[in-house]
Amino acid sequence: MANSKYEYVKSFEVEDEIFPPNIIIVRIDGRDFRRFSEVHELEKPNDKIALELMNECAKAVLEQFPDIIYSYGFNDEFSFVFKKGTKFYQRRASKIHSLIVSFFTSVYVTTWKAFFPQKDLRYAPSFRSRVICCASLEVLQAYLVWRQYECHLSNQHNTCLWQLIKCGMSEKEAEEMLKGSQKQDRNELLYQRFNINYRKDLPEIFRQGTCALKIEVEDIVKYKDDGCPVKRPRKKVITVHCENIASRRFWNEQLCLSKELGQFTEDLNKTKPEYLKSFQYESKLMPSTWIVIRIDGCHFHRFSEVHEFEKPNDAQALNLMNSCAVAVLEEFKDIVFAYGVSDEYSFILKKESQLYERHPSEIVSAVVSFFSSMYTMKWNEFFPHKEMKYPPYFDGRAVCYPSCEILRDYLAWRQVDCHINNQYNTCFWMLVKSGKSKSEAQNYLKGTQAQEKNVLLDQLSGVMNYYNALESMFRLGSSVYWDKETRIVDNKEGAAGKSRKMVVVRYCNIIEASFWDAHSEILNENQQWL
């Protein structure tokens, strides 16, 4: 990021490192997946194909991130466990959980057709995530007991509920009948009324949930001249089902788990949820402050090369980012402004926002996941002739700014960064296209100032003021906000103007006061956004 007088705004960023020996868990769960399952007509109480899709996404996460060695999931939730000594992104909580939920979401969208070839994805699925710190292996064991017990309780309840509904009860009547019932009561109801033996007749994937973990296998990489195979060990991700995932027998038999996390010393059959919740405490973001959610593409330099984006700027790639930002503002009404450049976007939530009770992990993960979902869903719209080679993903963080002035300085910092980086990249790629190697271009530009770069661009292009003639989107970045637009509509009386509020994308100078004077409603603390 470029140096400027606005750099001081970085001092408002708070580090959230998770210190050893805490074991890191990232738990994700679907945002409003009840509605998602209804819209997509998923089978009740369990859709096996939908669960297999979730499992496939979990396997992809373990394959993508070597430091994740185990996961457990059921319904629309999955918990990912990192090896004890991980230094994954230096153990920063926001970066860790946002990357995982973003990648999981992208895989979910890109893999949907393989599992539901006859069903179109009607709207963008998204997930929330958070980091859970386990102070010891015993806490991790208690956590796993808790989640598998929740799997069992929810599945048993939902199985009873939907059997009653299928027999003619309304959902309200079925819920009333099950109120206060115990585990044994529900088992007897299923057996006596529906002839269902819960333990024997329901698939393991419904009752027990699914574990994804890594095992070591040997692959043949080549053959010697005498025909003997040369083998190399590698990690393979598998899924298994187990009645008690926190038992000593199951855990200690998995060599990868006992090696990276340690062995369970005793069996644990029950745990109090209150005990676990004490390890999940999360403070809220400071009240009456502007919340900025900044997301960044992860390894997007490689992503742009693999997908052959035009250098130094690919207009379609930027338009795709802008389209996703528009969707984010339409989805989260508390976001009043967004600014984007390259593979980065900053989303501004109004000061009085109570979105997710101002819990940073929920806000960050929801925005990052929804953005990732839209990016993968909209890819073909902007790149109809380019296949997406692998899922993109983003990280995110939340930062609070106490005043409009400091918030505007933050946005100015990002726009200055946009200008400096774009001017450098324009020079760099013009030098490369003129015949210089990348290292020669870097050395040539080392130490040059803005005016020198402008002169260089004029010389290389043969056009005066070449840089200033570039598209505004490249030089100024993209500003996204709610605004009134007047459209001409025809009626019986003739053509007339009709105004409505909509999200617009503009390429503006947001450093100067003139933009904010002309759009004072954006940062108006009393403005009510509907």
Best CA proximity match to 176, nearest among 184, 167, 187, 165: 165
Check if the beta carbon of residue 172 is closer than 8 Å to that of residue 180: no
Question: Which region, left, alpha or beta, applies to residue 242 given φ > 0 means left and ψ of -120 to 50 means alpha?
Answer: beta
Cis amide linkage into residue 360, ω under 30° from 0? no
- The answer for residues whose C-beta is within 8 angstroms of residue 64's C-beta and 6 or more apart is 103
Distances in Å between the Cα of 266 and the Cα atoms of 111, 246, 255, 262 are 39, 10, 17, 12
CA-CA distance, 272 to 104, in Å (whole number)? Answer: 29
Radius of gyration of the chain (CA): 27
Distance of CA 518 to the CA centre of its chain: 34
CB atoms under 10 Å from CB of 361, counted, come to: 24
DSSP annotation of 255:
H
CA-CA distance, 97 to 127, in Å (whole number)? Answer: 11
Check if the beta carbon of residue 108 is closer than 8 Å to that of residue 370: no
> Per DSSP, which regions of 298-343 are E strands?
335-341
Would you say the C-alpha torsion 364, 420, 391, 372 has a positive or negative sign? positive
> Per DSSP, which regions of 224-263 are E strands?
229-240
Q: In the prediction, which pLDDT does 494 show?
A: 57
DSSP annotation of 76:
T
Q: In the prediction, which pLDDT does 530 show?
A: 38
Q: In the prediction, which pLDDT does 525 show?
A: 46
pLDDT tens digit sequence for 325-338: 999 999 999 999 99
Distances in Å between the Cα of 162 and the Cα atoms of 119, 167, 347, 419, 504 are 23, 8, 41, 58, 44
Best CA proximity match to 392, nearest among 371, 412, 409, 411: 371
Q: In the prediction, which pLDDT does 107 show?
A: 98
| Single-letter amino acid code for the residue at 298 | C
C-alpha atoms less than 13 angstroms from C-alpha of 197 in its C-beta half-sphere: 3
Check if the beta carbon of residue 335 is closer than 8 Å to that of residue 328: yes
DSSP for 104-144, written as a single string: HHHHHHHHHHHH-TT----S---EEEEEEEESSHHHHHHHH
Phi, psi of 10 (to 5 degrees): -65, -20
Q: In the prediction, which pLDDT does 495 show?
A: 58
- The answer for residues whose C-beta is within 8 angstroms of residue 226's C-beta and 6 or more apart is none
Check if the beta carbon of residue 292 is closer than 8 Å to that of residue 347: yes
Distances in Å between the Cα of 444 and the Cα atoms of 313, 432, 439 are 21, 11, 9
Check if the beta carbon of residue 421 is closer than 8 Å to that of residue 342: yes
- Which residue stretches of the chain have pLDDT < 70? 1-3, 273, 276-280, 485-498, 525-530
DSSP annotation of 390:
S
